[in-house]
Amino acid sequence: MPGLTPKYGTKYMLIRKNSLQSLADTMSEPEIRGRSLWADARKRFIHNKAAVAGLAVLILVSVFASFGGWLAQYPNDEIDFMVIGQVAELGGPSFANGHYFGTDDLGRDLFARVVQGTQISLMVGIVGAAIAVVAGTLYGAIAGYVGGQVDNVMMRIVDMLMAIPYMFVIILLLVMFGRSISMLFVGIGLLSWLDMSRIVRGQTLSLKNKEFIEAAQATGVSSINIILRHILPNLLGVVAVYATLLVPLMILTESFISFLGLGVQEPNTSWGALISEGAGTMQYGTLWQLAFPLFFFVITLFSFFFIGDGLRDALDPKDR
């Protein structure tokens, strides 16, 4: 779809199918499954400096999002009538007047707005990724486990959906049902479950013939239970990595939607909305309006990337 997803490709980069596949293979080998795998993984993860730093930053950002509101001197929707109209002169970051990050173009406290925007962006990223992961995993596991014609039809459907320009669907959804956070979740979540379903299906196919599954089938455990109890836990590693790398993609998508003016409703805001407002006024001497939200946006995305890479390397210790 015409450039509607400037970061369209990100998905393919993040979810490198080959390495995920290899990770999935490793995870389903019985001899390294179980407790030792996770313990080893943790050890490897802790030794990955970039990943640990990413985790630390992410925790700090989360703390900022959760408790930053307590430090804010103003609510996020209140216009400071002393500042409005002279934002370039009076609205800069200042401890004296309590606007730690300065104010936005209307004289609203940017600190409070960044705190609140961080909440929304993180939420969109995490909930969107969760929707994609849950939908993709269930769909893929069912297709793979049931197999045969059902699998065939289900996978054809995925192939078809892959040809649809997704941003188009998101825009139409937001247009049709009005913009709301829940619509954003659904739309963004819908964007990314297809790849997941393919990986999970392939994985399920190979797991299906493993002895422990056959044993479960022989003892009369229902299909649903087999999928939930035996197949899914074995996919946990793949899912974890996928989810971590999906979150930044969601956040990027949200920022683009906000740029189009289809983001969350005022007085709520998001990183995307703040950045796009800040970028519009950057040459008018109010650079802080771009700098603060962009800073949080960038460090968070960096963190997710590092954590995702770290997780994958930790769970799939092929020499990398």
14-53: which residues touch other proteins (CB under 8 A)? 16-19
Residues 267-286 that bind other proteins (CB under 8 A): 267, 272, 275-277, 279-285
Q: Which stretch binds other proteins (CB under 8 A): 109-117, 129-137, 198-206, 294-302?
A: 294-302
- Residue 298 contacts other proteins per CB under 8 A: yes
For residue 134, the minimal CB distance to other proteins (Å) is 23
- Residue 90 contacts other proteins per CB under 8 A: no
Query: Cα–Cα distance between 308 and 48 in angstroms, integer?
Result: 11
For other proteins, the binding residue among 42, 46, 261, 295 (CB under 8 A) is: 261
Residues 179-218 that bind other proteins (CB under 8 A): 179
Query: Cα–Cα distance between 110 and 93 in angstroms, integer?
Result: 9
- Residue 92 contacts other proteins per CB under 8 A: no
For residue 279, the minimal CB distance to other proteins (Å) is 5
For other proteins, the binding residue among 40, 62, 73, 79 (CB under 8 A) is: 79
Query: Cα–Cα distance between 310 and 304 in angstroms, integer?
Result: 10
Window 101-140: contact mask with other proteins (x via CB under 8 A): ----xx-x--------------------------------
Q: Which residues pair with 79 in a beta bridge?
A: 108
For residue 178, the minimal CB distance to other proteins (Å) is 7
- Residue 171 contacts other proteins per CB under 8 A: yes
Output Rg (C-alpha) for the chain, integer angstroms. Answer: 22
Nearer to other proteins, 183 or 231 (CB): 183
Q: Which stretch binds other proteins (CB under 8 A): 92-100, 136-144, 162-170, 181-189?
A: 162-170
Nearer to other proteins, 1 or 215 (CB): 1
For residue 18, the minimal CB distance to other proteins (Å) is 5
For other proteins, the binding residue among 8, 134, 138, 147 (CB under 8 A) is: 8
- Residue 152 contacts other proteins per CB under 8 A: no
For residue 33, the minimal CB distance to other proteins (Å) is 22
Q: Which residues pair with 22 in a beta bridge?
A: none
